[in-house]
Amino acid sequence: MSYDTLALIHSLAAYVWLGSLFGSLVFATLVTRRSENGVLTGAVAVVRFATRVGLPAAIILLISGIWMVAAYPVGNGLWINLGFILWLVAAVVGSALMHPAARRMRNATTDKESVALAKRIIWIGGGEIIAIAIAIWVMGAKPGS
């Protein structure tokens, strides 16, 4: 597969991952403004999009990135390493923090506890967006080089 094709797949996967989180957070914000329990609906949407759209995109992003580096060695590994670290941060944050919070939210015994966990899920999604956006900028702009 050509470098340009791999780069296209890699870039599209990054934007799909970012877009799925951003879209679900916009939805969560709009739903939350309608009612206090709307935050629960928003958090469920964030988790669903993160799992069903974001996770496959993150895996495709990783595989295509590794494939590009293996098949077409490029100079200045600093940006590749930084992009990988930010991918790892976003993926670990999503897996290690968001999904356990979603599980606890489903099993919560009080509405107050559910709402607190839902807000945490939405904040975690926002943190993931920041990490992914920085990674996209770093990999695209390669500042200082």
Please spell the DSSP secondary structure of 94-132, one letter per residue.
IIIIIHHHHHHHHT-SSHHHHHHHHHHHHHHHHHHHHHH
What pLDDT was estimated at residue 34? Answer: 83
Q: Furthest-apart CA pair in the chain: how many Å?
A: 54
Instruction: Name the DSSP letter for residue 74.
Output: -
Helix then strand then coil, % of the chain, to nearest 5: 90, 0, 10
Q: Give the pair of three-digit tokens for residue 67.
A: 């494939």
Cα Rg, the chain, nearest whole Å? 17
59-101, pLDDT tens digit by residue?
999 999 999 988 987 766 788 888 889 999 888 888 888 889 9
Q: How many separate helices (H) and strands (E) can be counted in the chain?
A: 6, 0
Cβ count near 81 (within 10 Å)? 10
What pLDDT was estimated at residue 13? Answer: 95
What pLDDT was estimated at residue 76? Answer: 64
Ranges of the chain with pLDDT below 50? none
Rounded to whole angstroms, how far apart are CA atoms 139 and 62? 13
Instruction: Name the DSSP letter for residue 142.
Output: -
